[in-house]
Amino acid sequence: MRTDFQHLLISQDNSVLTITMNRPEVLNAFNDTMLGELNEAIEAAAQDDTVRCIVITGAGRGFGSGQDLKALAAVRSTTETGKVSEHLQKYHRLINAIRHMPKPVIAAVHGVAAGISCNLALACDMRIAADDARFIEAFARIGLVPDGGGGYFLPRLVGFGKALELAMLADEVSGPEAERIGLVNKCVPLTEFESATKTFAQRLAHGPTHTYGLIKELMNKSLESDLLSSLRLEGELQDIAFETADHREGVAAFLQKRPARFTGR
Ligand code: T3D
């Protein structure tokens, strides 16, 4: 994967790829370049067998502040813009790529995660937050509805009533509160955030990666389907998982009373 992006920092530690959104002067607000680069990096990570877990995070004092409103205003004042739904397709490409990524994607959130940056975090498989995190469904503050998948993921994570509250009032949710309501998987003190993220990601990167992809497929589909369809899919996916080297290794490790060494195959 190329690493010479204008607004992304890319680093790989063993099988963990960290993608850092890097426009700290605007709290990592999305302009078109950063959005295009993030799409490219995520799609490249999906194809790269040396990557078994992806961490998305932000440089400077936050995760992200949503769409770059200054860039948006500048475009609006100078050119005839198309419908915003056309622009949103670039975000939808990103959300789809994360959901169909056959390996775990973690959002590591410190500081602010507002607007579509917040919803990018919600589209990831899991979220780890620092205790200084500030999640803001900021859309209603500027008269917009939650986009970037927020209308889909938010009620599924925190329940219908809480989702409506967060979307309508657009109040900040702190890291500890986000953990309490299920918006993030865990919240840690800021001083431990980097090491906790690393430990979390390395653990996932050493798991049965192929099976993790199947688990994602099962969970993705369960959000839409009835019990019978989910049970049918579970059987189909288990047939695949049953044939993986990691399944054989897991059983062998159990029988030999030793930790499993998963290779992702
Ligand atoms: O076209 C489409 O696709 C539409 C899609 C829209 C999706 C969306 O994401 S809509 C939501 C857009 N985001 C927002 O409405 C959030 C705007 N920002 C804020 O409300 C606040 O900045 C924060 C609550 C995020 C953080 O507050 P604070 O006090 O910690 O920081 P700050 O001082 O406000 O911001 C620091 C700098 O970042 C500041 O620049 P300056 O004045 O020092 O030169 C600020 O203007 C800049 N900044 C923050 N957010 C954005 C931004 N610049 C451009 N766009 C931003 N979204």
Structure tokens at 124: 């990831």
pLDDT value of residue 73:
85
> Which pLDDT value is given to residue 17?
98
Tokens at residue 112, please?
């602010």
Distance 121 CA to ligand 1 centre (A): 16
pLDDT score, position 230: 84
In this prediction, residue 146 carries a pLDDT of 95
Ligand 1 atom 40 nearest Cα? 26
Q: How far is the CA of 170 from the centre of ligand 1 (A)?
A: 14
How far apart are the CA of 160 and the centre of ligand 1, in A?
A: 27
Ligand 1 atom closest to Cα of residue 27:
38
Q: Which residues line ligand 1 (CB under 6 A)?
A: 26-27, 29, 65-70, 72, 84, 87-88, 112, 114-116, 136, 138-139, 141-142, 144, 147
Give the type of residue at 1.
M
Alpha carbon of 67 to ligand 1 centroid (Å):
8
Q: Give DSSP secondary structure letters for 203-226.
A: HHHTS-HHHHHHHHHHHHHHTT--
Query: Which stretches of 11-114 are DSSP H helices?
Result: 32-47, 69-78, 84-99
CA separation for the pair 237, 235 (Å, rounded): 6
Q: Tell how far the Cα of 82 is from the centroid of ligand 1, in angstroms.
A: 22
DSSP 76: H
pTM comes to 0.95
Nearest residue (CA) to ligand 1, atom 45: 26
Compute the residue count for the chain: 265
Low-confidence ranges of the chain (pLDDT < 50): none
Nearest residue (by CA) to ligand 1, atom 55, is 68
Pairing of strands 112-114, 62-64: parallel
